[in-house]
């Protein structure tokens, strides 16, 4: 297969560490917000001015006092491949990083990355962004009182850009300040919020703004951080955040944790120009809990596909008696494994609620089902069927079509230096989809390796090496380990399902 015929399946990734792409000026995102001034209370020195007038912010001192001690500064030593950008975006992750030198040619460089994190338990567990700690060989955490501790990585989830780390050390305080998770569903558009973090290495910084939107999908996770099933339902705010805020806390006016700051709409300088985006706390809580309990994230699936948001045009085309909701036209590749079909849903139903909560767009449906539930959980799905509302109790399944907990696949990962890739076993769902009995899936392409040179995408499934049919990742790793000379690899492009052949010389 010629390189010219090989389609790259992902944009060049930018890790948290704050290299921000330009373009926000194209959408006019740089206007200043009006400043609201309040007068001091004349009744006595030190008295606080309060107001109940709608639209006027209240006193944020208590919220800042409550949240600031639980927000930490994370510094990580990383080795990454730094390369020239190939496509601009107005959205980016934000952090601070210093790799030195230019980025005109792809190369591996060692440097320091910086971001924020939120302590979520008194024994030192911290939630942050995956892109803050990705590729870190060493983590240092600076508490709000300037004490420094080493930390270890507990687990990551690129699909939500969330990670959990844990403080280490013999002198670790017994009862660290922490923030419990609040219910992010309770936050309202127009409500005042605070962003707490460490922008530009300025520790313990607090800014204020309002919630501009909820359930916002900006298409950033699918292009970066190796996310294969990205879940985006961001809380959008106009609270000022900048490089270094990534992984910090978004709290309401009571100081309750309602999100983890993750991305900004940035200008050419990579700094804040109008909007920031946070992963909602309900999603963060689920991911963190799964990482601590299972070692990976458990997600429930309805088993439906060909989903579309219902509008007037679609309702007319499909003769639907519904004006909103999510229409679906298939039970997926394997209908017999569909949780929705087993519960009694029919093709053409319009999903309008999950557990009593309105569903008006796809990010909200994904959040309410896959992001907040695991296989085996039962959710109440309300559908509009021919103008009538019907409730169905749906027992969610995993990607393999069962209700069992999905075991961590870390033990099946195989790193193959000769081709520069990490391989994993294919899932049962992938076997069914591509009609194969086995294979080895490329889950990471290592910098400067043979597969990177061949432009092999993440997700590529190796089915044969030379004349040997591949059953799993271990077999592929054994065949390729220390391999030199000519090699022929046959596999499947996950985006098209087509078969391709790679030929080359391993050195």
Residues 131, 184, 338, 373: which is the catalytic one?
131
How many other C-beta atoms are found inside a 10 Å radius of the C-beta of residue 247?
36
Distance CA 284, CA 291 (A): 11
Residue by residue, DSSP assigns 370-388 as IIT--TT-EEEEEEEETTE
Residues 96, 161, 290, 349: which is the catalytic one?
161
Question: Hey, is 122 helix, strand or coil?
Answer: coil
Residue 385 dihedral angles phi and psi, to the nearest 5°: -120, 105
Kind and range of the H or E element at 442? Answer: strand 440-445
Rg of the chain over all Cα atoms, to the nearest angstrom: 24
Distance CA 202, CA 115 (A): 11
Distance CA 106, CA 364 (A): 38
Residue tagged 């054994």 (tokens): 478
161 catalytic? Reply is yes
Kind and range of the H or E element at 82? Answer: strand 71-82
Taking phi first (over 0 means left), then psi (-120 to 50 degrees means alpha), and beta for anything else, what does residue 429 get?
alpha
Going by C-beta distance under 8 Å and a sequence separation of 6 or more, which residues neighbour residue 179? 66, 67, 70, 118, 119, 120, 249, 251, 255, 256, 257
Strand partners, 162: 129, 157
Nearest alpha carbon to residue 288 among 117, 142, 116, 113: 117
Nearest alpha carbon to residue 60 among 193, 240, 154: 193
Going by C-beta distance under 8 Å and a sequence separation of 6 or more, which residues neighbour residue 313? none
Residues 246, 276, 338, 418: which is the catalytic one?
246
Distance CA 340, CA 390 (A): 13
- Cα angle vertex 50, ends 46, 51, to 5°? 160
**What letter does residue 40 receive in the DSSP assignment?**
P
Evaluate whether 88 touches 22 at the Cβ level (below 8 Å).
yes
How many other C-beta atoms are found inside a 10 Å radius of the C-beta of residue 375?
21
| SS3 labels along 471-498 | CCHHHHHHHHCCCCEEEEEEEECCCCCC
Evaluate whether 133 touches 162 at the Cβ level (below 8 Å).
no
**What letter does residue 306 receive in the DSSP assignment?**
E
**The tokens of 293 are what?**
């309990």
Active-site annotation, residues: 131, 161, 246
């Amino acid at each position: 297969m010629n390189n010219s015929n090989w389609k790259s399946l992902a944009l060049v990734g930018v890790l948290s560490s704050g290299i921000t792409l330009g373009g926000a000026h194209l959408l006019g995102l740089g206007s200043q917000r009006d400043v609201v001034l309040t007068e001091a209370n004349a009744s006595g020195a030190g008295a606080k001015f309060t107001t109940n007038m709608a639209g006027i912010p209240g006193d944020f001192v208590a919220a800042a006092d409550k949240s600031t001690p639980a927000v930490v500064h994370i510094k990580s030593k990383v080795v990454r491949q730094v390369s020239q950008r190939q496509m601009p975006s107005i959205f980016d992750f934000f952090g601070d990083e210093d790799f030195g030198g230019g980025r005109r040619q792809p190369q591996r460089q060692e440097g320091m990355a910086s971001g924020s994190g939120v302590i979520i338990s008194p024994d030192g567990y911290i939630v942050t962004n995956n892109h803050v700690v990705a590729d870190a060989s060493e983590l240092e955490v600076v508490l709000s009182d300037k004490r420094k501790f080493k930390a270890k990585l507990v687990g990551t989830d690129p699909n939500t850009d969330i990670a959990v780390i844990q403080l280490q050390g013999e002198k670790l305080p017994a009862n660290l300040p922490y923030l419990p998770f609040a219910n992010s569903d309770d936050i309202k558009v127009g409500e005042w919020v605070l962003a707490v973090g460490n922008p530009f290495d300025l520790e313990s910084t607090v800014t204020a703004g309002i919630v501009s939107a909820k359930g916002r999908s900006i298409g950033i996770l699918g292009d970066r951080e190796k996310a294969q099933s990205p879940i985006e339902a961001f809380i959008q705010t106009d609270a000022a955040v900048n490089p270094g805020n990534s992984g910090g806390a978004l709290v309401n006016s009571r100081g309750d944790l309602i999100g983890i700051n993750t991305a900004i709409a940035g200008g050419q300088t990579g700094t804040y120009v109008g909007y920031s985006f946070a992963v909602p706390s309900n999603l963060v809580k689920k991911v963190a809990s799964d990482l601590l309990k299972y070692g990976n994230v458990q997600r429930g699936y309805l088993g439906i596909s060909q989903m579309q948001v219902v509008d007037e045009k679609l309702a007319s085309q499909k003769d639907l008696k519904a004006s909103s909701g999510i229409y679906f036209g298939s039970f997926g590749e394997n209908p017999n494994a569909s949780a929705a079909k087993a519960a009694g849903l029919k093709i053409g139903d319009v999903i309008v609620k999950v557990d009593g909560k309105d569903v008006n767009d796809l990010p909200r449906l994904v959040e309410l089902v896959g992001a907040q539930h695991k296989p085996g959980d039962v959710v109440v799905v309300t559908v509009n069927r021919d103008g009538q509302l019907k409730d169905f109790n749906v027992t969610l399944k995993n990607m393999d079509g069962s209700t069992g907990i999905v075991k961590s696949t870390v033990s099946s990962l195989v790193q193959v230096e000769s081709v520069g890739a990490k391989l994993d076993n294919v899932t049962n769902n992938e076997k069914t989809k591509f009609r194969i009995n086995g294979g080895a899936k490329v889950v990471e392409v290592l910098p400067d390796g043979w597969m990177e040179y061949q432009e092999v995408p993440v997700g590529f499934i190796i089915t044969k090496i030379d004349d040997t049919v591949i059953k799993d990742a271990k077999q592929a790793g054994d065949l390729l380990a220390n391999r030199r000379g000519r090699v022929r690899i046959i596999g499947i492009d996950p985006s098209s399902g087509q078969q391709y052949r790679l030929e080359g010389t391993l050195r």
